[in-house]
Amino acid sequence: MAGGAGAGAGGAAAGQATAAAGDVPILIAEFPLNRLYTARGESKLFEIYVTDGAGRPLVSVTEGKEVSGGGTAPGGFADLLPKSAQTAGTREYAASGVPMLAAYSPVGDLGLFTIVQIPKARAFEAARQLVTRSLLIAGVVCVAALALVFLFASSLTKSLIALTRATEQIGQGQFGVQVEVKGGGEIAALAARFKRMTEELSTREAALKDANQRLMESEKMSALGQLGAGIAHEVKNPMTSIRGYAQMGQRKLPDGHPLGEYFRTIVRETDRSLEILKNLLKFARQETAEMSIIDLNTVVSDTVKLVSHQLMMKDVRVEARLCEQSLQVSGNANQIEQVLLNLFINAGDAMEGKGGGTITASTDMPDALTARIRVADTGSGIPSEVVKKIFDPFFTTKPVGKGTGLGLSVSYGIVKEHKGEIAVESKVGEGTTFIIRIPIARQASEGVAAAAPAKEKRVRVINLR
pLDDT digits (tens, 9 = 90+) for 365-379: 998 899 999 999 988
Tens of pLDDT, residue by residue over 98-107, are 888 888 888 8
Q: Domains in the chain, ordered, with CATH?
A: 13-120 (3.30.450.20), 290-464 (3.30.565.10)
Query: Which pLDDT does position 67 carry in this prediction?
Result: 46
Query: Which pLDDT does position 452 carry in this prediction?
Result: 46
- pTM over 0.75? The answer is no
Q: Is the pLDDT of residue 240 over 90?
A: no
Q: Is the pLDDT of residue 14 over 60?
A: no
Q: Is the pLDDT of residue 447 over 60?
A: no
Q: Is the pLDDT of residue 51 over 60?
A: yes
Query: Which pLDDT does position 278 carry in this prediction?
Result: 73
The CA distance from 325 to 373, in Å, is 13
Tens of pLDDT, residue by residue over 53-70, are 788 888 777 654 444 444
Q: Is the pLDDT of residue 110 over 60?
A: yes
Comparing 230 with 243, the larger pLDDT belongs to: 243
The confidence band for 42, taking pLDDT boundaries of 50, 70 and 90, is: low
Residue 12: C-alpha distances to residues 4, 64, 242, 366, 418 (Å): 12, 21, 161, 115, 130
Q: Is the pLDDT of residue 432 over 50?
A: yes
The confidence band for 459, taking pLDDT boundaries of 50, 70 and 90, is: very low
Query: Which pLDDT does position 85 carry in this prediction?
Result: 64
3-state SS, the chain, equals CCCCCCCCCCCCEEEEECCCCCCCCEEEEECCCHHHHHHHHHCCCCEEEEECCCCCEEEEEECCEEEECCCCCCCCCCCCCCCCCCCCEEEEEEECCEEEEEEEEEECCCCEEEEEEEEHHHHHHHHHHHHHHHHHHHHHHHHHHHHHHHHHHHHHHHHHHHHHHHHHHHHCCCCCCCCCCCCCHHHHHHHHHHHHHHHHHHHHHHHHHHHHHHHHHHHHHHHHHHHHHHHHHHHHHHHHHHHHHHHHHHHHCCCCCCHHHHHHHHHHHHHHHHHHHHHHHHHCCCCCCCCEEEEHHHHHHHHHHHHHHHHHCCCEEEEEEEECCCCEEEECHHHHHHHHHHHHHHHHHHHCCCCCEEEEEEEEEEECCEEEEEEEECCCCCCHHHHCCCCCCCCCCCCCCCCCCCHHHHHHHHHHHCCCEEEEEEECCCEEEEEEEEEECHHHHHHHHHCCCCCCCCEEEEEEC
Q: Is the pLDDT of residue 456 over 50?
A: no
Comparing 26 with 77, the larger pLDDT belongs to: 77
As a whole number, mean pLDDT of residues 448-457 equals: 45
Please state which of the ranges 98-107, 148-157, 181-190, 407-416 shows the lowest mean pLDDT. 181-190
Query: Which pLDDT does position 264 carry in this prediction?
Result: 85
The listed range with the strongest mean pLDDT (16-25, 227-236, 251-260) is 251-260
For residue 83, the tally of other CB atoms under 10 A from its CB is 5
Query: Which pLDDT does position 33 carry in this prediction?
Result: 60
Q: Are strands 316-323 and 357-367 parallel, antiparallel or unpaired?
A: parallel
The CA distance from 260 to 428, in Å, is 49
As a whole number, mean pLDDT of residues 77-101 equals: 79
3-state SS, 371-427, equals EEEEEEECCCCCCHHHHCCCCCCCCCCCCCCCCCCCHHHHHHHHHHHCCCEEEEEEE
Query: Which pLDDT does position 376 carry in this prediction?
Result: 93
As a whole number, mean pLDDT of residues 107-132 equals: 82
The listed range with the strongest mean pLDDT (15-29, 220-234, 340-354) is 340-354
Q: Is the pLDDT of residue 329 over 90?
A: yes
As a whole number, mean pLDDT of residues 341-361 equals: 85
Query: Which pLDDT does position 19 carry in this prediction?
Result: 45
Q: Is the pLDDT of residue 338 over 70?
A: yes
Tens of pLDDT, residue by residue over 198-214, are 778 778 878 888 777 77
Angle formed at CA 394 by CA 389 and CA 399, multiple of 5 degrees: 95
Tens of pLDDT, residue by residue over 270-325, are 887 777 777 666 666 545 667 899 999 999 999 998 888 888 888 889 999 999 88
